[in-house]
Copies of this chain bind each other. A is one copy, B any other.
Amino acid sequence: MLPGPTNVPQRVMRAMLKPIINHRGPEFHEMYPRLLEKVKKVLQTKSDVFVLTSSGTGAVEAALSNIVKPGDKVIVPVAGEFGSRLADSVEIYGGKALRIQVKPGDSPTAAQVEELLDREKDVLAVAVVYNETSTGTTVRELEKMGEIAKKYGALFIVDAISILGGDWLPVDEWNVDVCIAASQKCLAAPPGVSIISLSEDAWKAVKRGRPATLYFDLPRYKKYLEERKETPFTPALPLFFALDEALDMIFEYGLENWIRRQEATAKAFYSAFQAMGLKLFAKERARSNVVIAVYAPEGIEVGKFREHLRVKYSVVVAGGFGELKNVIFRVGNMGAVTAREVVTTVSSIESTLADLGAQVPLGEGVKAAWQYLKDL
């Protein structure tokens, strides 16, 4: 129950065993454009999309190394580790990151972004981490931020690595110019490939100069796709096959149903932890459906708690990130999480806390969770 990589269903794992084909041959020419159509469908976009052989951070690098030119101003709300990385990346390519610092556990608002857009001139882009995995918070005003960015003529770049497929993100409808995502989170595929979309406005920004990268040179990806239906460099074929299968699985289940199930299991987790008397880390308005961050009860050491949970109950959860390492634990509610996973995770956490001597009302967590699980 990690916040990524998440459990991968057997049918998706088995897809990796397909024979290694020629990535310059007819089978790939048929497969790759078909995969990209599925990616467009999950992003709800008509923009160009690409699948990259890299983890999600590679797709962030692809976006920024192509779009940001020296001196460009980019507004970056920072609500945790991943927002911080995004801002740092802007600066690697000579951009000026205008950070909006947000308290851990909260998420940035559209008003904060508008205020800064109003004050600064010539802002190239607003770049936002939709779901901050390090703190379990989600930007609940993403649609509004997109409108505001458009109003001010700024590009809207969304890092949706940990949330695509786990919450709502109609890319075109919400004015997202660049969307970045990865395979191993709510799409329930193995890690190692990432996704990027680029609107026409994004391409205009790219074309202002030569990309500061060869491996992530996006005009080259576009050229290879359009002229040959290929990637410019060798793709991670087994992971492409797995992503393809995972998307088929999601569409068979229905994308909306897939997201709604994660909404329901998120409610189940939150109410379970509250019923157990635990304190939630994220403010209510910022709570993520895909990463549930919870304060460890007083007197319980996070590392020991996680170790006990893993060894005795075979349930793996994450600790905090950086300064929060020994303060919170985080449960991933991503992708193929069903009532079964919620019930076993909640009951194992209850039991672990009891094992370690914490005051916890045994059974209350499962009882509270069940209210949201019974109709799944």
Q: Are the C-beta atoms of B316 and A214 separated by less than 8 Å?
A: no
- Of A17-25, A149-157, A255-263, A294-302, the one with at least 4 CB within 8 A of chain B: A17-25
By CB atoms of chain B within 10 A, which of A13, A58, A184, A234 has the most? A234
Q: Contact check, A22 vs B316: say whether CB atoms are below 8 A apart.
A: yes
- The smallest C-beta distance from A26 to any residue of chain B, in angstroms, reads 8
Q: B25 near A213 (CB under 8 angstroms)?
A: no
Alpha-carbon distance A192/B22, docked complex (angstroms): 14
Interface residue? A235 (CB, 8 A): yes
A58 touches B238 (CB 8 A): no
The answer on a CB contact under 8 Å between A13 and B17 is yes
In the bound complex, do residue A20 and residue B191 qualify as a contact, i.e. CB atoms below 8 Å apart?
A: yes
Given A192-B192, A192-B239, A236-B192, A24-B214 contact (CB < 8 Å): no
* Count of chain A residues with a beta carbon within 8 Å of a chain B beta carbon: 51
A116 within 8 A of B: no
Q: In the complex, what distance in Å separates the CA atom of A25 from the CA atom of B1?
A: 13
Per-residue 0/1 for A1-39: is the Cβ within 8 Å of any B Cβ (1 yes, 0 no)? 010111110000110110010111100000000000000
Indicate which residue in B5, B57, B213, B316 contacts A237 across the interface (CB closer than 8 Å). Answer: B5
Docked Cα-Cα span, A22 to B234, in Å, equals 26
Most buried by B among A13, A192, A318: A192
Additional A-B contacts beyond A13-B16, A24-B318, A25-B316 (9; CB < 8 A): A4-B234, A20-B191, A55-B233, A60-B214, A65-B213, A89-B214, A191-B237, A192-B239, A212-B212
A56–B17 Cα gap in the complex (Å)?
Answer: 22
Quick one: which of B61, B190, B236 contacts A20, CB cutoff 8 A?
B190
A369 within 8 A of B: no
User: Is A92 an interface position by the 8 A CB rule?
Assistant: yes
A224 touches B (CB below 8 Å): no
Is there contact, CB below 8 Å, between B57 and A215? Answer: yes
> A54 within 8 Å of B by Cβ?
yes
Residues on the B chain within 8 Å of A53, using CB: 53-55, 58, 191-192
Q: A13-B17, A212-B92, A213-B61 are in contact. Are A238 and B190 (CB under 8 A)?
A: yes
Per-residue 0/1 for A217-255: is the Cβ within 8 Å of any B Cβ (1 yes, 0 no)? 000000000000000111111110010000000000000
Contacts of A60 in B (CB 8 A): 214-215
In the complex where A54-B58, A191-B237, A214-B61 touch, is A17 in contact with B20 (Cβ < 8 A)? Answer: no
Could you mark each residue 94-124 of chain A with 1 if its beta carbon is under 8 Å from any beta carbon of chain B, else 0? 0000000000000000000000000000000
CA distance A235 to B194 in the complex (A): 12
Residues of B within 8 Å of A20, CB to CB, are 5-8, 184, 190-191
User: Across chains A and B, which 5 residue pairs bring their CB atoms closest together, nearest first?
Assistant: A192-B236, A61-B215, A55-B234, A57-B233, A55-B233
Pull 7 A–B residue pairs with CB atoms less than 8 Å apart, ordered by A. Answer: A5-B20, A5-B234, A16-B238, A25-B310, A53-B55, A92-B214, A236-B239
With a cutoff of 8 Å between Cβ atoms, the chain B residues found around residue A89 in the complex are: 214
Q: How far is the CA of A214 from the CA of B4 in the complex (A)?
A: 20
Chain B residues lying within 8 Å of A2, measured Cβ to Cβ, are 22
A107–B232 Cα distance when bound, in Å, is: 25
- Bound complex: CA of A316 vs CA of B210, how far in Å? 36
A182 in the interface (beta carbon within 8 A): yes
